[in-house]
Amino acid sequence: MTTTKGTAAEAAETPEHHEATDASGKLTLAEILEIFAGGRLPLHFTAYDGSSAGPPDASLGIELKSPRGTTYLATGRGDLGLARAYIAGDIDIHGVHPGDPYELLKALADELVFKLPPPRTMAHVIRSIGLEHLRPIAPPPREAPPRWRRVAEGLRHSKSRDAEAIHHHYDVSNTFYEWVLGPSMTYTCACYPDDDASLDEAQENKYRLVFEKLRLHPGDRLLDVGCGWGGMVRYAARRGVRALGVTLSAEQTAWAQQAILDEGLSDFAEVRYGDYRDITESGFDAVSSIGLLEHIGVKNYASYFTFLQSRLRTGGLLLNHCITRPDNRSEPAAKGFIDRYVFPDGELTGSGRIITEAQDVGLEVMHEENLRLHYAMTLRDWCANLVAHWDEAVAEVGLPTAKVWGLYMAGSRLAFETNGIQLHQVLAVRPDERGGTGDLPLRPWWTP
């Protein structure tokens, strides 16, 4: 811990302790951290004022390098301050690679619990930090505006605002995504047939699972909304299905269209740039939505499912694959780091809410399953890819963006492992007026 007598946390609990640990009468930055952490730090902390805390021989460490970092930490709510300081270069991490800081995040989540100190101690902390560090400053340029300011860009989940949110996250660089995602270019949860399966095998298996759940056959028509780089479209087209995909990402569209040409699939596959709500064709045998619902907005679920149902023929199947919360009560809107740096306007809710909304527009839910741990494994493998191509990734998108991705993917892996978030596939059918569902088998007809 610190080199003073006892810890700052112990001192804070002693009413008669008024002695400061430096000549100015201020607490050091390490002592302030100890106060909030209750003296229990699972890593070694060092700061630009020369102070330190935590086990000196710890394998993991955090270094606070500048006063600007202190301002970010003091003014950012939740995880936002730490993220700002790290992305801006005011914090360095030790013992982990920036492309995969999972072990550091896990140590913090498992062992670090912050508590507010008594008012008298808090006043001492504020005096020690200094008022100049309690005034917000401009965030790193990579950060999206707060939600209240995005109103100027259009109503939440309007076509224009959704397009901007998709651009923020997906139009980073196709080359960057190729390094992170691997040959499949699939930015959604894979489905691992066994613990030893590779990422590419697991992504192929995920597409196989969706294809079989939708009971697709040669000559059928598939609509894939939010199609990404066209992975599902091309998988279906290789099997004789006429597949149409749509995405709001210009870079995804260009990559997917070229891949369709390269594979000679133009007679069966098409990817369009645009909003899924602009699709005019109908009568599809199946609709797949793999990773789109997170961007729709919970209040828009009814119109979303109504539209997708209107694109289906009677007896057609819909597969919705998306990240969910583990309950149906939590506020859907993302906050902090995820909202500002990863998914602006993203919203998650529980699988129960999704099923309810699908049922309420007339779809009959046939099956649902949770692939939570599969997403943790997917993120593990994406982080490994980023680490393996770190130098190229930094050269392509810059160090701040590369750090955002490492932090986001490692943190998301931890959230899936600890059941903070889940991944659900919901399969539904459009029944006829009398409840008929065509020739669907009585029980699941696909291979798990």
**pLDDT, position 23:** 56
CA gap 370, 9 in Å, rounded: 42
Q: Which residue has the tokens 């997708």?
A: 308
Domains of the chain listed by start with CATH number: 8-133 (no CATH), 159-429 (3.40.50.150)
Q: How far apart (Å, rounded) are the C-alpha atoms in residues 44 and 379?
A: 27
| Residue from 253, 261, 213, 254 nearest 237 by CA | 261
Question: Which residue has tokens 């029980």?
Answer: 443
Amino acid 337: pLDDT: 92
DSSP state of 197: -
**Confidence at residue 162, expressed as pLDDT on a 0 to 100 scale:** 54
CB 147 within 8 A of CB 327: no
Per-residue confidence (pLDDT) for residue 112, from 0 to 100: 78
The strand pairing partners of 317, in sequence order, are 286, 429
Tokens standing for 165? 């949110």
What was the pLDDT predicted at 113? 78
Comparing CA positions, the residue from 386, 389, 377 lying closest to residue 406 is 386
**Helical segments of 112-217, H only:** 119-129, 147-150, 159-170, 174-181, 199-213
Q: At what angle do helices 399-417 and 102-111 cross, to 10 degrees?
A: 50
Is-contact 400 143, C-beta < 8 A? no
Per-position pLDDT tens, the chain of length 448: 333 334 444 444 443 333 345 556 899 999 999 998 887 889 999 999 999 999 999 999 999 999 999 999 999 988 999 999 999 999 999 999 999 999 999 999 988 778 888 999 999 999 999 989 999 999 998 888 887 665 655 555 555 555 455 544 555 799 999 999 999 999 999 999 999 999 999 999 999 999 999 999 999 999 999 999 999 999 999 999 999 999 999 999 999 999 999 999 999 999 999 999 999 999 999 999 999 999 999 999 999 999 999 999 999 999 999 999 999 999 898 888 999 999 888 999 999 999 999 999 999 999 999 999 999 999 999 999 999 999 999 999 999 999 999 999 999 999 999 999 999 999 999 999 999 999 999 999 999 9
Instruction: Kindly give the pairing relationship between strand 269-273 and strand 242-247.
Output: parallel
pLDDT at 289: 98
71-74 long-range contacts, Cβ below 8 Å, gap at least 24?
A: 71/132, 71/133, 71/134, 71/135, 71/136, 71/137, 72/137, 72/139, 74/129, 74/133, 74/134
**262 C-beta neighbours (distance < 10 Å), count:** 9
H/E element, 322: strand 312-324
Question: Any residues with CB less than 8 A from the CB of 378 and at least 6 apart, and which?
Answer: 189, 190, 199, 202
In 3D space, the residue among 376, 408, 337, 391 whose CA is nearest the CA of residue 176 turns out to be: 391
Three-state SS for 317?
Answer: strand
Q: Which residues pair with 221 in a beta bridge?
A: 242
